[in-house]
Chains A and B, each alone.
Chain A
Amino acid sequence: AQKVTQAQTEISVVEKEDVTLDCVYETRDTTYYLFWYKQPPSGELVFLIRRNSFDEQNEISGRYSWNFQKSTSSFNFTITASQVVDSAVYFCALSEALVDSNYQLIWGAGTKLIIKP
């Protein structure tokens, strides 16, 4: 079975601290995609990044960075110099092949990030 584990249910840090959200996945697919989504208190789901299984380069986008390591089946997300506006629930997701060759996303349970001023 394929699954995604976000072991950190809730993280609370003070503004300007760095914080890393962990994501560990299991899959038998050789080709797959990993995603991160953000859900702010307003409730919408916002796409942050996707990464395919053949690209292990780290990615940086402003204060956000992602560390993909196939050897440990992890796709961790780091926020540098956190801000109150980063407070949200963050979801990690893995593409899974369905029987009919279509794909769906398998979601982690999410990590609630609280940034205190």
Chain B
Amino acid sequence: NAGVTQTPKFQVLKTGQSMTLQCAQDMNHEYMSWYRQDPGMGLRLIHYSVGAGITDQGEVPNGYNVSRSTTEDFPLRLLSAAPSQTSVYFCASSYSRVRRGYGYTFGSGTRLTVV
């Protein structure tokens, strides 16, 4: 039972490069999301999805794209990396909407550095 799998764990990019952070879950969770964690700021929501084919923006969506073609996968794309995107990124999934009290299961995180 893998839970939420994120790849890669570490990545260094040059300014202007693009890349995709991968996230996959095997729990048949309908809700998936991407967060970034910066020192002293907790977790901030980038994008989320409530099911295949449905995505929406969170608090800090600029510079990122997502898609959800399957229930299992929710990749995050950085279109043109900037130093301000240096952060730790977490993918999270939940059985259903948070209102019903289901906690999130998190991936192990991706530490991204943009130089």
Chain A interfacial positions (CB closer than 8 Å to B): 4, 9, 31-33, 35, 43-45, 47, 50, 52, 91, 93, 95, 97-98, 100, 102-105, 107-110
Distance in Å from the Cβ of A23 to the closest Cβ of chain B?
12
Distance in Å from the Cβ of B41 to the closest Cβ of chain A?
6
Interface bracket on B: 20 to 34
Distance in Å from the Cβ of A105 to the closest Cβ of chain B?
6
Interface residues of B in 21-76 (CB under 8 A from A): 31, 33, 40-45, 48, 50, 56, 58
Cβ-closest chain A residue relative to B99 = A103
**A43-B88, A107-B43 as given contacts; A102 in contact with B101, CB under 8 Å:** no
**A44-B106, A44-B108, A45-B106 as given contacts; A102 in contact with B42, CB under 8 Å:** no
* B97 interface residue (CB < 8 Å to A): yes
* B95 interface residue (CB < 8 Å to A): no
Interface residues of B in 68-101 (CB under 8 A from A): 88, 90, 92, 97-99, 101
Distance in Å from the Cβ of A44 to the closest Cβ of chain B?
5
For residue B40, which residues in chain A have a CB less than 8 angstroms away from its CB?
9, 109
Establish whether residues B104 and A102, one from each chain, have CB atoms under 8 Å apart when the complex forms.
Answer: no
For residue A95, which residues in chain B have a CB less than 8 angstroms away from its CB?
98-99
Distance in Å from the Cβ of A36 to the closest Cβ of chain B?
10
